[in-house]
Amino acid sequence: MENHYPQSRLFIQDEPVIRLNSGQRDAIELFKRKVENTKYAFENVSCLCGEKEGVLIGTRDRYGLSVHTHLCNHCGMMWTSPRMTEDSLKEFYKKDYRPIYVGNSQAPDAFFRNQIEHGRKVYDYIISDIETESKKPLKVFDVGCGAGGNLLHFKENGWIPFGCDLGEEYLNRGREEGLILEHGDAMSLSQYGPANVVILSHVLEHLPRPLENLNEISKLLIDDGYIYVEVPGIFNIHNAYGDVLLFLQNAHLYHFTLSTLSSLMAQAGFELIKGDEKICALFRKKNAVEIPVDEKEHARVQHYLYQINKYRRVHIYKLYIRKCVMLPISGSSLLLHYVHNHLRKKSRWLYSEE
């Protein structure tokens, strides 16, 4: 019998908890109508470790959509069930994903600029750990590349970049910059392989069969190649989202800690080189990898989620303060003054559980 997680707002929140533009609101309503009209099919699935039951964390996501999130009592991973079938997911990413998440079916310039900056950070993160004796230019694949902006900094530093994505409209923006970007999954890049590095930036949590996909991606790499993985980390919710509801979203089928991610990667033959709970991590392809198992991870996750929900407004307040620091002085002072006075008057609001 599956247990329920005792936080009612995760089960009854029917309205979005994030600010949306008009395009996003329209896209969400269109998606709901498609679900009601059975345009999308759903299926029940087990955790990746095989467990069928666990703790039901919630039945809603950040958009107010019906998303049932479970915590595995065996391995500590969180997963969505029921979820869209693979055919429905392909249609979702083709038609509805970008309009819901961005509000635009074409890549905005701001999105592309953010990708370029992110690509610089990825490059800086991995470059000191890449070991190679090859004198040839190194090759990098970006799977789920969006508009391809992550690859520009690699290209500027002499790497040979290729990318792929299921959303064809966004690829056009990167192609305008001379990038070779394929419309399709990881195997669409096999014609350009093998690669020295594969980037999976906010991709793995979207895949319905991540272990099988990782085994396929492994074939795209040289024998001692690397995978850079970036996913939203469960243990970073307080720092990045402040609220579990903001963290949960219908397109994310699995949720990881660094421990559960490392276990999954080890099953596919990848050894952790370095990583953190944000999660940013670098893995290296290896013939034999010991699979780490932490039997207490599920208890740590459940306790953490309870604490985040209990003090979520404190964490959200801290996120506001951090954003204030990033604003120009005048805007920062005004926002900080408003938030401080508002929360000071409603101090009980900070610590309420509902």
Give residue 6's pLDDT. 52
Give residue 53's pLDDT. 84
C-beta of residue 183 within 8 angstroms of C-beta of residue 166? yes
Two tokens at 290?
């010991």
Decide: residue 287, CB within 10 A, 0-12 exposed, 13-18 middle, 19+ buried: exposed
Give residue 192's pLDDT. 96
Give residue 4's pLDDT. 56
For the domain made up of 117-288, give the CATH fold.
Answer: Rossmann fold (3.40.50)
Rounded distance between C-alpha atoms, residue 181 and residue 195, angstroms: 15
The torsion angle over the Cα atoms of residues 315, 72, 260 and 294, rounded to 10 degrees, is: 100
Give residue 348's pLDDT. 38
pTM over 0.95: no
Q: Where are the domains of the chain?
A: 117-288, 311-345
Rounded distance between C-alpha atoms, residue 21 and residue 11, angstroms: 24
Give residue 144's pLDDT. 95
C-beta of residue 265 within 8 angstroms of C-beta of residue 204? no
Rounded distance between C-alpha atoms, residue 91 and residue 68, angstroms: 20
Give residue 1's pLDDT. 42
Each of the 354 residues of the chain gets a pLDDT tens digit; together they read 455 555 678 898 889 999 899 999 999 999 999 999 999 999 999 999 999 889 999 999 999 999 999 999 999 999 999 999 999 999 999 889 989 998 876 667 888 999 999 999 999 999 999 877 667 899 999 999 999 999 999 999 999 999 999 888 889 999 999 999 999 999 999 999 899 999 999 999 999 999 999 999 999 999 999 999 999 999 999 999 989 999 999 999 999 999 999 999 999 999 999 999 999 999 999 987 788 778 899 999 999 998 888 888 788 777 777 766 555 544 445 555 555 454 444 433 333 333
Across the strands, what pairs with 70? 56, 79
First CA to last CA distance, the chain? 26
Give residue 195's pLDDT. 96
